[in-house]
Amino acid sequence: MTADLILTGGTIRTLDPASSVAQAVAVRDGRIAAVGSAADVAGLRGPATQVVELDGRTVIPGVHDGHLHLAMWAANRPEYSIDLSLATSVGEAVDAVARRVAERPVGSWVKGHGWYEARMSDLGGRWPTRQELDAVSPEHPVVLVHFSEHAVWANSLALAAAGITAATPDPEGGTILRDADGEPTGYLIESAGDLMMTALPQPSPAEADAAVDAAMRQLLDLGVTSVTDPMVGPELLRQYVRMHNAGGLPMRVAVLLHWAGLGLPNNAGEIERALGFSGMATGLGDDVLRIAGAKLFADGIPPLRTSWTSRPYGEGCHGSLLTDGETDEARLTELGGMIEHLHRARLQVQVHATGDRACDAAVDAFVAAHQTDPWADARHALIHANLLSPQTARRMAEHGYCANTNALIKWSVADALVATYGDERAGYSSPMRSLIDAGLHVADTSDAPVSDPDWRQGVECLVLRESRASGTVSGPDERVSREEALRAWTVEAAYQEHTDHLKGTVEPGKLADLVVLEEDPLTIDEHQLHALTVAATYVGGVHRGGPGL
């Protein structure tokens, strides 16, 4: 049998267990047929074989972003949403809203994303208000989503459209910030933001598909061949199935099912009811679209002081679990019940947990579920794991569990974390070195649209741990090697998804998802890792992104 495609004359970084380096790779029927020297694969060349001369370029496995809100990121692209990630003041953000309002018909919604109070010099410790937006948007509902996706800043028209008034009670796990008269200020925290997001007009199926398709094409140009969308409800799953059936998924998509959110109760009963109608389990699907598991929220995020920690923030609070319940004990019971239901249904559970207490609580529940109903290959995971301790990481490693970190977020907020946590905890936050040394499987991911989904910058962040704003090194002891960083975006991401037998390395029999780089990421200057040039991206041996060779 001859090969369909041969890439030859370069450096093939296989990232296999031996860190083997080859010079050529052959592809047949969408899978890797051979890896080795040019002579090793020459015998697979036939009259119809496409031979690509690498001319010294480097090939790595296809990049898998294991936590990327694909549809959400697609909806936040510049044509749909104002990018406020670099706004340094409320005034700057309001000016951007004013410009967009001037372009839009009266009554149409204006959406923005990415603002961060720590970058806004004129806030002075307060939160932004609806009145500041009202001044430039008297006839347009405006919704501006916090960079973390855990808070919303809205104007008066948007609040009215969502039915949020002084009489609206705080939802479980959320806060509607109010002024001295009890009126909403326009700032909504955690699940209170969901009340607003459900009021936003939804795109048509054709518009939604077009947005996701454009987002996938952009990712393919970056070398990303597969993603895990970590928050997929029934409607979004239907969209992905519709696109897949029409041949409209040019990259591989794994999904984490999510039911407890968007205003729904965050408790075990809700999960039990959802599972009663789903019949789904980890692994359902095919090589293009599959069920990876389910997602839960344990706590919130550090900037909002909703991350559940053992040591208090400067204000004296500790955050808390976001599950239903009036006490810590009740909330822990609900979290444990949710995880047990999903575990019994053979759905891998990935839990958003940022504070150390939330991490410990989720791992306790993982282990308890396993003891009741053993599942050796569950690979349950903590998402973010900002303050996961080495002790708990070692406990996770014993069970084959995973952590899903975000160096890109760390890069963006490292300086601000000092005010949130203090120097010591801020430096330790996202402790990649400690987690790897504990034997834990760690995949690094973008969490787009919380950050820009550029794995190259993510790799550089893991290697350098320098902050975006000041260049200060945050936690130098937590740096990792370049190869470890690459593995976090390939090998470990595949392990987390239960697809390490299919992808993550360049080895015979695996899917031919490959990225051709102009430079070698293991030899380029470490401060230039973010500028690696993608020459071509192959999915199943088919050229899908990059200019090509």
Say yes or no: 84 and 173 in one domain: yes
Say yes or no: 171 and 125 in one domain: yes
Say yes or no: 161 and 189 in one domain: yes
Say yes or no: 86 and 40 in one domain: no
Entry field: residues in the chain: 549
Final residue belonging to a domain, choices 197, 224, 251: 197
**All residues at 6 or more sequence positions from 225 whose CB lies less than 8 Å from its CB, including other chains:** 62, 63, 64, 251, 252, 503, 513, 514, 515, 537, 538, 539, 544
Residue 332 lies in a domain: no
Residue 374 lies in a domain: no
Say yes or no: 83 and 113 in one domain: yes
For 182, the token pair is 């009890």
Q: How far apart are CA 428 and CA 389, in angstroms?
A: 10
Q: pLDDT value at position 214?
A: 96
Q: How far apart are CA 428 and CA 414, in angstroms?
A: 10
Q: How far apart are CA 157 and CA 178, in angstroms?
A: 16
Segment 301-314 mean pLDDT:
88
Q: What angle do CA 343, 344, 345 make, to 5 degrees?
A: 90
Segment 388-395 mean pLDDT:
97
Q: pLDDT value at position 79?
A: 83
pLDDT band at 262 (very low <50, low <70, confident <90, very high): very low
Say yes or no: 119 and 16 in one domain: no
Say yes or no: 116 and 44 in one domain: no
Q: Describe the crossing of helices 455-464 and 407-421 by its angle, rounded to 10 degrees.
A: 50
**HSE value, Cβ hemisphere, 13 Å, CA-based, for 451:** 24
**All residues at 6 or more sequence positions from 88 whose CB lies less than 8 Å from its CB, including other chains:** 119, 120, 121
Q: How far apart are CA 473 and CA 468, in angstroms?
A: 10
How do residues 349-385 score in pLDDT, each as one tens digit? 999 999 999 999 999 999 999 999 999 999 999 999 9
Q: pLDDT value at position 268?
A: 93
Q: pLDDT value at position 80?
A: 87
Q: pLDDT value at position 261?
A: 56
pLDDT band at 510 (very low <50, low <70, confident <90, very high): very high
Q: How far apart are CA 362 and CA 359, in angstroms?
A: 5
Residue 300 lies in a domain: no
Q: What is the CATH number of the domain that holds 539?
A: 2.30.40.10
- What are the CA-CA distances from residue 360 to residues 33, 199, 260, 290, 390 (Å)? 43, 35, 21, 29, 11
Say yes or no: 147 and 192 in one domain: yes
Residue 383 lies in a domain: no
* Number of domains observed in the structure of the chain: 2
According to DSSP, residue 521 is labeled: T
Segment 29-43 mean pLDDT:
97
Q: How far apart are CA 46 and CA 209, in angstroms?
A: 39
Contact (CB, 8 A) for 295 and 259: no
Residue 114 lies in a domain: yes
How do residues 104-118 score in pLDDT, each as one tens digit? 999 999 999 989 888
Residue 193 lies in a domain: yes
For 487, the token pair is 């593995």
What percent of the chain has pLDDT above 90?
Answer: 83
How do residues 105-151 score in pLDDT, each as one tens digit? 999 999 999 898 888 888 888 899 999 999 999 999 999 999 888 89
pLDDT band at 264 (very low <50, low <70, confident <90, very high): low
To the question of pTM greater than 0.85 for the whole model, the response is: yes
Say yes or no: 92 and 173 in one domain: yes
Residue 53 lies in a domain: yes
According to DSSP, residue 66 is labeled: S
β-strand partners of 312: none
Final residue belonging to a domain, choices 197, 213, 238: 197
Say yes or no: 52 and 97 in one domain: no
Final residue belonging to a domain, choices 197, 223, 256: 197
Residue 51 lies in a domain: yes
Say yes or no: 119 and 162 in one domain: yes
Domain assignment of residue 36, given as a range: 5-62+511-545
pLDDT band at 265 (very low <50, low <70, confident <90, very high): low
Is the model's pLDDT at 396 over the cut of 80?
yes
- What are the CA-CA distances from residue 196 to residues 92, 110, 157, 186, 230 (Å)? 23, 13, 11, 10, 21
Say yes or no: 36 and 132 in one domain: no
Q: What is the CATH number of the domain that holds 154?
A: 3.10.310.70
How do residues 228-246 score in pLDDT, each as one tens digit? 999 999 999 999 999 999 9
**Mean pLDDT of all residues belonging to the chain:** 94
Is the model's pLDDT at 263 over the cut of 50?
no
Segment 20-35 mean pLDDT:
98
